Amino acid sequence: MSQFIESFLQAMTAGLLIGAVYGLMCVGLGLIFGVMRVINFAHGDFMMLGMYAAFYLFTLAGVQSVFGNTVGPFVAILLAGPILAVFGYAIHALLISRVSGTKTASLEGEGHYAQLILTLGIALILQNGGLIVFGSVLASIRTPLSSSAWELGPFFDISIFVNRARGIDAIVSFATMILLTLLITRSRIGKSLRAAADNPTAATYMGIDVDRAHRTAFAIGTGVTAIAGGLLATNYPFHPFVGLDYVIVMYAGVVLGGMGSIIGAFWGGMTIGLVQQMSTIVLPTQLQNAAIFVVFLLIIFFRPQGFFGRMVERT
Amino acid sequence: MSLQRPIVAIAAFAVIYAAVSLSITNSYYQLIMTLVLVWAIFGLSWNLLSGYTGLISFGHAAFFGIGAYTTALGQIYFDLSPWLSIPIAAMLGGVAGLLVGFPTFRLQGHYFALAMLAYPLAILYVFEWLGFQEMTLPIKRDNPIAYMQFSDPRVYTLLALVMLIGTILLTRTVERSRFGMALLAIKQNQAAAEAAGINTLAWKLRAISLSGAIAGAIGAFYAVVLLVVTPQSVFGMLVSAQALTVAMFGGVGTVWGPVIGSVILIPLAEILNAEAGTRFPGIQGVIFGLAIISVILLAPEGLFWKVRDIWRRRQLSQLSSEPRDVPATATVTQLPVSVRRDRAATPEDVILEVRNLSRSFGGLKAVQNVSFKLHRNEILGIIGPNGAGKTTLFNLLNGFLRPDTGEVLLEGQDVFARKPHELCEAGVARTFQIMRPFQRMSISDNVVVGAYVRAKTDAKARELAADAISRVGLSSIADRIAGELSTKELRLMELARALAGQPKILLLDETLAGLGHDEADEVVTVIQRLARDNITIAIIEHTMQAMVRLVDNFLVLDHGAVLLEGKPETVTCDTRVIEAYLGKKWVAHAAH
């Protein structure tokens, strides 16, 4: 019995820690989706770029030699965020803006077809270009923290071990999330983003440049997901095609939380992390991801607006 | 466009493709020739659902993979020949379509697309867990032909070509029939389609089932061609992406789109892979991605539509240099507006009776205890300030919203809380405040969609549509594309679409909105003429001038409740109406 409780608590802890990072990852996509209503298939690949950016900042750009092995990775990860934000900004300005925002009125299906295929094209280029540039060897951002743990307890006779790298990942993730929430709720930029998301036409009348708001959202969303990617990379090795594995988790999280809700996306990602880790108690490891999809489908059927979303229907 | 021309095009394509593939000797290129057709068929299968209904599926790999594993597992464990397993795969694909569609069609737009993503991936992990990692089809040396194993790979190309032609013909048949019309109507506006009498869920289920069957069959064939099946190669996200890539690249909602996309993209990717793959692994993906991006930026709706639009424009410019006598716009013969209608509503003959109808949204009582009677041949004007519940009342009457309480009797029959398409069949038609024409279709095709609810055959539907078009006076421009019409013509077209189903009651929601004074008069004339032809009309409108001339009776709503009912003369003088519309200050003015 106590063994079951122990593995249960251990799985839950693992789920909460990975969930915090998944949450941040989902927030990046959720921001883009919520503001622009664009399904961005390349988002997983933006995250992959974030992982490599952190990796090269750490190893080649000298972060390792300045900050050392323990702090260095996290400095590199946080630096990768702004770099990818600039990248996202450019991608939106050059490509995405051509088929989204105020340009889509004349297109069939409000430009959804064009957006999908465009982001698929970007995804293909990033994955395969990544293969050419980075090679197919697994990379990882190793820190000594990845192989050490804090021991919580013992409570009665149960102790829980928390991997130090994952623990710090979760803390960084929460901190980023809080900063982002402040940015969105308190700042002028945040207000224009929310206005553009809520009603683009009305926002335009109020003098908000909706296309610029979209570009800002795209940049911030890409940067945030890149940070989440870097955090994941401290524990999971990665390769140029890694985006494919995570893009599904991202969408599941965003839908779970309710499309358009930033906080919702975070808790959606958290739920995915918990489901993934907790399912290992009863299911074989290979079915971890199948469990995610089953939960995803169940929630989408019974509460399609997600935890925090709202449904608006108009005739 | 004559009916033969597309058939000739299909035949020409088949002959040329067969000739080219027979002349190729390199076995790798032969394989590419087959794969082009495989992905074209898969693209067509995707197009049948997503291209025509507009519900984008990210999960078509589910059907494809089920087909592929049917062949592989069938032959390995049950010694089943692909000649049998391909039809079985088609059946399984069709059933899978129903099972997936039934719950998933409750979702719309992005939610649908993302939910579809989950199916193949969930199956993928289950298959990996079951240990079906890499299934190789056993080679049958004694009787290869019985197991669809040919030494000459060109036979596979020919088989695939036969399947492609079959799929193209099937898609074309669907496209031209009421099936295709229903799907297009769903794509444009699901609500409007329901209101036009289309059972949207039933048609969508037929579409996904047929689409799943095609995907299952071609997945099964794919396994035969490649001989090896892995979960990633048939259930993976890239497989679903392949379907939507070839279809969207070529053009969505046409049979030629996926074929064009596949013929261009597949050889490009494969040849790049063969030529440069060893030096630059992944170079084909990069070039592929670049090709997709550049095409989508230049032709966001796909190559087919871009080329067709250029072609049409050139033809139009050639035509316009010649003299033509087609009227530029439809004009409705205008009756002198002072003439009142020469027939009276029959007071004792109640066609629609509404008793205490209520509906609230949370705490907001949008419609509360509304009762009124609609008499045969009457024109009832429903007025009231913004937010009075007028459109909500229409939504309750045609089934978009479920009333909370009350009674609705249509010719004495209880029709409380029926679905929109059922009410349309019962004889309640409506138009919308916001027009939703089917942009790429002609006026006739737009109107035919509304006629199917009364017509058993396509010919009968065309007939009803032509009749409805002539009643609103658009016959002379019936072949024009809806996207080229003026607001007035669109309003008249929507009216014709509602009429085509031969309704007993017509609910008109702000039909005069956005029209100039003269245009409004023309439309008013048409409505008056309809009322004379035994149609009962309820109309929501803000233009009081037009309304006073048009209606027999007014129903005034305010805050969801009936404020007043009566003749135009009494209603326009009533202080409560003036107050509701203009505020207290004006009541004093009116008194003087």
Q: Domain coordinates of chain B in residue numbers?
A: 29-310, 350-591
Across the interface, of A116, A252, A289, the residue whose CB is closest to B56 is A116
Q: Decide if A293 and B293 are in contact by the 8 Å CB cutoff.
A: no
- d(CA B144, CA B135) in angstroms, rounded, equals 19
Chain B residues whose beta carbon lies within 8 Å of the beta carbon of residue A125: 285-286, 289-290, 293
Label the pairing between strands B364-375 and B379-383: unpaired
Chain A residues whose beta carbon lies within 8 Å of the beta carbon of residue B103: 301
- d(CA B564, CA B384) in angstroms, rounded, equals 10
Q: How far is A255 from chain B (nearest CA, A)?
A: 8
Top residue of B240, B242, B296 to mutate, by most chain A CBs within 10 Å, is B296
Q: How far is B192 from chain A (nearest CA, A)?
A: 9
| B368-374, long-range: CB < 8 A, 24+ apart | B368/B559, B368/B560, B368/B561, B369/B406, B369/B561, B369/B562, B370/B406, B370/B557, B370/B560, B370/B561, B370/B562, B371/B562, B372/B555, B372/B562, B372/B565, B374/B350, B374/B505, B374/B536, B374/B538
Q: How far is B494 from chain A (nearest CA, A)?
A: 15
If one counts the domains in chain A, the total is 1
- d(CA B314, CA B467) in angstroms, rounded, equals 33
Give the C-alpha distances (Å, rounded to integers) separating B274 from A134, B28, B162, B335: 21, 9, 27, 74
Half-sphere exposure of A70 (CA within 13 A, CB side): 3
pLDDT confidence of residue B221: 95
User: Residue A31: inside a domain, yes or no?
Assistant: yes
Other residues' Cβ atoms within 10 Å of the Cβ of residue A22: 29
Q: From first to last of the 592 residues of chain B, give the pLDDT tens digit.
A: 445 677 888 899 999 999 998 888 888 888 999 999 999 999 999 999 988 888 888 889 999 999 999 999 999 898 888 899 999 999 999 999 999 998 888 877 777 887 888 888 889 888 988 888 888 888 888 888 888 888 888 889 999 999 999 999 999 999 888 888 888 888 877 777 888 788 889 999 999 999 999 999 999 999 999 989 999 889 987 888 888 888 888 888 888 999 999 999 888 888 887 777 777 777 777 877 887 788 778 877 788 888 888 888 888 777 665 544 444 444 544 444 434 444 555 667 888 888 889 888 877 888 888 898 888 888 888 888 888 888 888 888 888 888 888 888 888 888 888 888 888 888 888 887 776 677 777 888 888 888 887 877 888 888 888 988 988 888 888 888 887 888 888 888 988 988 888 888 888 888 888 888 888 888 888 888 888 878 889 998 877 777 888 888 888 888 888 888 888 888 877 777 777 776 666 666 655 5
User: Residue A81: inside a domain, yes or no?
Assistant: yes
Q: Which residue of A has its CA nearest to B303?
A: A114
Chain B residues whose beta carbon lies within 8 Å of the beta carbon of residue A26: none
Q: In a 10 Å sphere around its CB, with 0-12 CB exposed, 13-18 middle and 19+ buried, how is residue B3 labelled?
A: exposed
**By the 8 A CB rule, do A128 and B289 touch?**
yes
Total-model pTM = 0.80
User: Residue A263: inside a domain, yes or no?
Assistant: no
Half-sphere exposure of B33 (CA within 13 A, CB side): 24
Residues sharing a CB contact under 8 Å with residue B214, sequence separation 6 or more, in sequence order: B41, B44, B45, B48, B90, B93, B167, B170
Nearest to A163 by CA among A235, A228, A237: A235
- d(CA B76, CA B56) in angstroms, rounded, equals 34
- d(CA A159, CA A98) in angstroms, rounded, equals 55
Q: Decide if A120 and B114 are in contact by the 8 Å CB cutoff.
A: no
Residue B405, beta-bridge partner list: B358
DSSP string, B317-381: HHHHHS---S-SS--PPPPPTTPPPSS---TT-EEEEEEEEEEEETTEEEEEEEEEEEETT-EEE
Q: At what angle do helices B584-591 and B575-582 cross, to 10 degrees?
A: 140
Tell me A309's DSSP state. -
**By the 8 A CB rule, do B358 and B557 touch?**
no
Across the interface, of B191, B248, B289, the residue whose CB is closest to A315 is B191
Q: Decide if B118 and A128 are in contact by the 8 Å CB cutoff.
A: no
Could you tell me if the ipTM is greater than 0.90?
Answer: no
Positive or negative, the Cα torsion across B468, B470, B474, B475? positive
Q: Decide if B293 and A118 are in contact by the 8 Å CB cutoff.
A: yes
Containing structural domain, residue A80: 15-242
- The amino acid present at A250, given as its one-letter code, is M
Top residue of A35, A95, A98, A108 to mutate, by most chain B CBs within 10 Å, is A108
Q: Decide if B126 and A287 are in contact by the 8 Å CB cutoff.
A: yes
The CATH number of B350-591 is which of 3.40.50.300, 3.40.50.2000, 1.10.287.180, 3.40.50.2300? Answer: 3.40.50.300
User: Residue A53: inside a domain, yes or no?
Assistant: yes
**By the 8 A CB rule, do A280 and A303 touch?**
no
Label the pairing between strands A158-163 and B536-540: unpaired
pLDDT confidence of residue B589: 64
Q: Decide if B282 and A127 are in contact by the 8 Å CB cutoff.
A: yes
Q: Decide if A301 and B191 are in contact by the 8 Å CB cutoff.
A: no
Chain A residues whose beta carbon lies within 8 Å of the beta carbon of residue B285: 124-125, 127-129, 131
Across the interface, of A109, A128, A300, the residue whose CB is closest to B285 is A128
Across the interface, of A33, A41, A132, the residue whose CB is closest to B283 is A132
Q: What's the gap between Cα B252 and its chain centre? A: 12
Q: Count contacts between A and B (CB, < 8 Å).
A: 151
Q: At what angle do helices B443-451 and B487-500 cross, to 10 degrees?
A: 30
Q: How far is B336 from chain A (nearest CA, A)?
A: 35
Number of H helices, E strands in chain B: 25, 12
CATH 3.55.50 at B29-310, yes or no: no
Positive or negative, the Cα torsion across B308, B314, B315, B319? positive
Q: Decide if B285 and A284 are in contact by the 8 Å CB cutoff.
A: no
